[in-house]
Structure 1
Amino acid sequence: MLHGLALVLLLLCVVSAEAQTRVRTLRVGGTETSWRRGGGGTDPLVLGGTLFSPKLDTTNTPDDAVDFANRPGWISPLSFDEQINVAARVLEEAGSIRSPNSVEEKKVVRAQLAEAVNGNHDIAFERKPTQVVPLNPQGIWVILDFGIPIGVHRVRFYPRNTVVETPRTPFHNDFLRAYELFINPTQTSAQRSPDILVARDTANESPIVDIDVPQQYTRLVKLKSLTQVPWEIDEFEVYASGFLERATYLSDLIDLGDRATLGPVRWREVAIGRDIRSTASVRLRTGTDDTPLIFEERILDSVGVWLGETQIVDQTTWVGLNRRQRGVIVDDEENWSPWKAAESGALITAPGQRRYLQFQVDIEGELFDSRQINWVEFDYLQPPLGDTLRAEVFPRRVPAEKRATFRYAVLLRAAGPIRGYDRLEIDANALVEDLREMTIDGEPAAFDIEYVRRDGFAITFEPIRRDSTVLEFTFDIPVFRFGTTFSARAYHTPSGDVPQRLEAGEAADFGPGDFAELSDLSVVIPREQVGQLIGEILVDNQIFTPNGDLVNDDFEVFFNLLQLTKPTPVTMEIYDLSGRR
Structure 2
Amino acid sequence: MRYLRVTAFLAAFLVCGGAGARVREWRVEDWKALCLSMSGIDFEASPGCIQPRELRPDENVALKLDWEPGSPEDYTATGTPRVWVPLAAYQHKSFLFLVDGDPSTSTGDMFKTLGIKYYGYPFYFDFGEPLYIGRIRFYPRQEGKDELGYYKDYYMKGFMIKVSDGFTFREGRPVWSELVGRPENDESIVDLRFSPRLVRFVKITNMRNDPFELAEVEFYGSGFSLESFYLSQVIDLGRRANFGKVSWEVSRWRRVGEELVEAPDADVSVKVEGRSGLDPTPIVYYARGDTVEITEEEWESQPSQRGSKVEDRENWSPWYVLKPGETFPTSGPRRYFQFRIHISGKLTETAKVGDFVLEYSTPLLADRVLGEISVKGQPRPSGGIAEVVPGREDTFVYCVKANFTSPSQRGFDCIEIETGTKPKFVRLELGGEEVEPEYIEGQDFLRVEFPEHRIDIRNNVPLKVEFQSSVMTYAKEFRGYVLDTQAQELPQIIEPGDADPDVGTNCLKVNLARNFIGNVLPKFDVSPAVCDAENREVSFSYAVTQMDPLSSARVRIRIYDITGRLVKEFDEGRRKNGLYEERWDCRDGEGNLVPPGVYICTISVETQNKTFRRSRSVVVVY
Amino acid at match of 2:441: V
User: Is the counterpart of residue 97 in structure 1 residue 83 in structure 2?
Assistant: yes
Specify the alignment match of 2:462 in structure 1.
470
Structure 2, unaligned runs of 5 or more: 1-16, 70-79, 255-264, 376-385, 568-622
Amino acid at match of 1:519: N
TM-score normalised by the chain length of structure 2 = 0.68
Q: In the TM superposition, what is the alpha-carbon distance from 1:470 to its structure 2 partner?
A: 1.0
Specify the alignment match of 1:420 in structure 2.
411
1:157-176 correspondence to structure 2 within 5 Å: 157-161=138-142, 170=150, 172=152, 174-176=154-156
Q: In the TM superposition, what is the alpha-carbon distance from 1:197 to its structure 2 partner?
A: 0.8
Taking a change above 3 Å as real, the CA distance of residues 327 and 228 of structure 1, as seen in their structure-2 partners, is closer
Amino acid at match of 2:448: I
Specify the alignment match of 1:520 in structure 2.
507
Q: In the TM superposition, what is the alpha-carbon distance from 1:216 to its structure 2 partner?
A: 4.2
Amino acid at match of 1:278: S
Once residues 580 and 371 of structure 1 are traced to their aligned partners in structure 2, the CA distance between those partners, rounded to angstroms, is 55
Once residues 531 and 252 of structure 1 are traced to their aligned partners in structure 2, the CA distance between those partners, rounded to angstroms, is 40
**SS in structure 2 at match of 1:520:** coil
Once residues 313 and 142 of structure 1 are traced to their aligned partners in structure 2, the CA distance between those partners, rounded to angstroms, is 34
Once residues 393 and 99 of structure 1 are traced to their aligned partners in structure 2, the CA distance between those partners, rounded to angstroms, is 60
Amino acid at match of 1:530: I
1:494-505 correspondence to structure 2 within 5 Å: 494-496=486-488, 498-505=490-497
Select which of 555, 559, 564 maps to 1:570: 555
Specify the alignment match of 1:6 in structure 2.
none
Q: In the TM superposition, what is the alpha-carbon distance from 1:193 to its structure 2 partner?
A: 3.3
User: Is the counterpart of residue 457 in structure 1 residue 450 in structure 2?
Assistant: no
Q: In the TM superposition, what is the alpha-carbon distance from 1:556 to its structure 2 partner?
A: 5.7
Once residues 423 and 321 of structure 2 are traced to their aligned partners in structure 1, the CA distance between those partners, rounded to angstroms, is 29
Select which of 66, 86, 89 maps to 2:61: 86
Once residues 350 and 489 of structure 1 are traced to their aligned partners in structure 2, the CA distance between those partners, rounded to angstroms, is 12
**SS in structure 2 at match of 1:495:** coil
Q: In the TM superposition, what is the alpha-carbon distance from 1:458 to its structure 2 partner?
A: 1.5
Taking a change above 3 Å as real, the CA distance of residues 261 and 116 of structure 1, as seen in their structure-2 partners, is closer
Once residues 429 and 266 of structure 1 are traced to their aligned partners in structure 2, the CA distance between those partners, rounded to angstroms, is 25
Amino acid at match of 2:277: T
Q: Deviations over 1:321-362 (max 9, x none)?
A: 9859987796795983244414224434434424x3131213
User: Is the counterpart of residue 365 in structure 1 residue 340 in structure 2?
Assistant: no
Q: In the TM superposition, what is the alpha-carbon distance from 1:447 to its structure 2 partner?
A: 0.9
Select which of 192, 199, 219 maps to 1:238: 219
Structure 1, unaligned runs of 5 or more: 1-16, 39-59, 299-306, 545-550
**SS in structure 1 at match of 2:205:** strand
Q: In the TM superposition, what is the alpha-carbon distance from 1:390 to its structure 2 partner?
A: 1.5
Q: In the TM superposition, what is the alpha-carbon distance from 1:144 to its structure 2 partner?
A: 2.3
Specify the alignment match of 1:410 in structure 2.
400
Select which of 33, 37, 51 maps to 1:62: 37
Once residues 140 and 282 of structure 2 are traced to their aligned partners in structure 1, the CA distance between those partners, rounded to angstroms, is 50
Q: In the TM superposition, what is the alpha-carbon distance from 1:418 to its structure 2 partner?
A: 0.9
Specify the alignment match of 1:537 in structure 2.
525
Once residues 168 and 51 of structure 2 are traced to their aligned partners in structure 1, the CA distance between those partners, rounded to angstroms, is 28
Once residues 136 and 540 of structure 1 are traced to their aligned partners in structure 2, the CA distance between those partners, rounded to angstroms, is 94
Percentage of pairs with the same residue: 20
**SS in structure 1 at match of 2:490:** coil
Q: In the TM superposition, what is the alpha-carbon distance from 1:564 to its structure 2 partner?
A: 4.5
Once residues 208 and 292 of structure 1 are traced to their aligned partners in structure 2, the CA distance between those partners, rounded to angstroms, is 48
1:77-476 correspondence to structure 2 within 5 Å: 77-87=52-62, 89=65, 91-92=67-68, 94-100=80-86, 106=90, 110=93, 113-125=95-107, 133-161=114-142, 170=150, 172=152, 174-186=154-166, 193-227=174-208, 231-241=212-222, 242-243=224-225, 245-256=227-238, 258-271=239-252, 278-288=269-279, 323=302, 333=312, 336-344=315-323, 345-354=325-334, 356-366=335-345, 368=347, 370-395=350-375, 396-416=386-406, 417-433=408-424, 435-449=425-439, 451-462=440-451, 463-466=454-457, 468-476=460-468
Amino acid at match of 1:559: S
Q: Deviations over 1:150-170 (max 9, x none)?
A: 443321123444xxx669985
Once residues 512 and 270 of structure 2 are traced to their aligned partners in structure 1, the CA distance between those partners, rounded to angstroms, is 37
Once residues 84 and 211 of structure 1 are traced to their aligned partners in structure 2, the CA distance between those partners, rounded to angstroms, is 15
Amino acid at match of 1:558: F
Taking a change above 3 Å as real, the CA distance of residues 494 and 329 of structure 1, as seen in their structure-2 partners, is farther
Q: In the TM superposition, what is the alpha-carbon distance from 1:533 to its structure 2 partner?
A: 2.8
Taking a change above 3 Å as real, the CA distance of residues 151 and 458 of structure 1, as seen in their structure-2 partners, is same
Q: In the TM superposition, what is the alpha-carbon distance from 1:409 to its structure 2 partner?
A: 1.8
Taking a change above 3 Å as real, the CA distance of residues 573 and 178 of structure 1, as seen in their structure-2 partners, is farther
**SS in structure 1 at match of 2:486:** helix
Q: Deviations over 1:110-141 (max 9, x none)?
A: 57x554433333354468997x6224353332
1:76–1:247 contact (8 Å) kept in structure 2: no
Q: In the TM superposition, what is the alpha-carbon distance from 1:63 to its structure 2 partner?
A: 5.2
Specify the alignment match of 1:548 in structure 2.
none
TM-score normalised by the chain length of structure 1 = 0.72
Q: In the TM superposition, what is the alpha-carbon distance from 1:143 to its structure 2 partner?
A: 2.2
1:421–1:491 contact (8 Å) kept in structure 2: yes
Once residues 414 and 285 of structure 1 are traced to their aligned partners in structure 2, the CA distance between those partners, rounded to angstroms, is 22
**SS in structure 1 at match of 2:400:** strand
**SS in structure 2 at match of 1:72:** coil
Q: In the TM superposition, what is the alpha-carbon distance from 1:83 to its structure 2 partner?
A: 2.0
Q: In the TM superposition, what is the alpha-carbon distance from 1:461 to its structure 2 partner?
A: 0.9
Amino acid at match of 2:269: S
1:425–1:458 contact (8 Å) kept in structure 2: yes
Once residues 426 and 169 of structure 2 are traced to their aligned partners in structure 1, the CA distance between those partners, rounded to angstroms, is 67
1:249–1:361 contact (8 Å) kept in structure 2: yes
Once residues 295 and 275 of structure 2 are traced to their aligned partners in structure 1, the CA distance between those partners, rounded to angstroms, is 26
Amino acid at match of 1:259: R
Q: In the TM superposition, what is the alpha-carbon distance from 1:376 to its structure 2 partner?
A: 2.5
Amino acid at match of 2:526: L
**SS in structure 2 at match of 1:87:** helix
Q: Deviations over 1:399-431 (max 9, x none)?
A: 444443222221111222312112222222333
1:390–1:506 contact (8 Å) kept in structure 2: yes
**SS in structure 2 at match of 1:571:** strand
Q: In the TM superposition, what is the alpha-carbon distance from 1:181 to its structure 2 partner?
A: 1.0
**SS in structure 1 at match of 2:48:** coil
Taking a change above 3 Å as real, the CA distance of residues 478 and 329 of structure 1, as seen in their structure-2 partners, is closer
Specify the alignment match of 1:24 in structure 2.
24
Specify the alignment match of 1:547 in structure 2.
none
Once residues 526 and 509 of structure 2 are traced to their aligned partners in structure 1, the CA distance between those partners, rounded to angstroms, is 29
Taking a change above 3 Å as real, the CA distance of residues 560 and 497 of structure 1, as seen in their structure-2 partners, is farther
Taking a change above 3 Å as real, the CA distance of residues 469 and 76 of structure 1, as seen in their structure-2 partners, is farther
Q: Deviations over 1:209-260 (max 9, x none)?
A: 222345444332111233456554442211234216332221343233x332
Amino acid at match of 1:425: E
Amino acid at match of 1:362: I
Once residues 304 and 182 of structure 2 are traced to their aligned partners in structure 1, the CA distance between those partners, rounded to angstroms, is 52
Q: In the TM superposition, what is the alpha-carbon distance from 1:527 to its structure 2 partner?
A: 3.2
Q: In the TM superposition, what is the alpha-carbon distance from 1:464 to its structure 2 partner?
A: 1.5
Q: In the TM superposition, what is the alpha-carbon distance from 1:182 to its structure 2 partner?
A: 0.5
Once residues 77 and 503 of structure 1 are traced to their aligned partners in structure 2, the CA distance between those partners, rounded to angstroms, is 39
Once residues 204 and 296 of structure 2 are traced to their aligned partners in structure 1, the CA distance between those partners, rounded to angstroms, is 45
Once residues 477 and 425 of structure 1 are traced to their aligned partners in structure 2, the CA distance between those partners, rounded to angstroms, is 14
Q: Deviations over 1:427-459 (max 9, x none)?
A: 2233323x243221113323112x322212222
Larger strand share, 1 or 2: 2
Once residues 186 and 441 of structure 1 are traced to their aligned partners in structure 2, the CA distance between those partners, rounded to angstroms, is 63
Q: In the TM superposition, what is the alpha-carbon distance from 1:483 to its structure 2 partner?
A: 3.6
Once residues 546 and 460 of structure 2 are traced to their aligned partners in structure 1, the CA distance between those partners, rounded to angstroms, is 37
User: Is the counterpart of residue 34 in structure 1 residue 30 in structure 2?
Assistant: yes
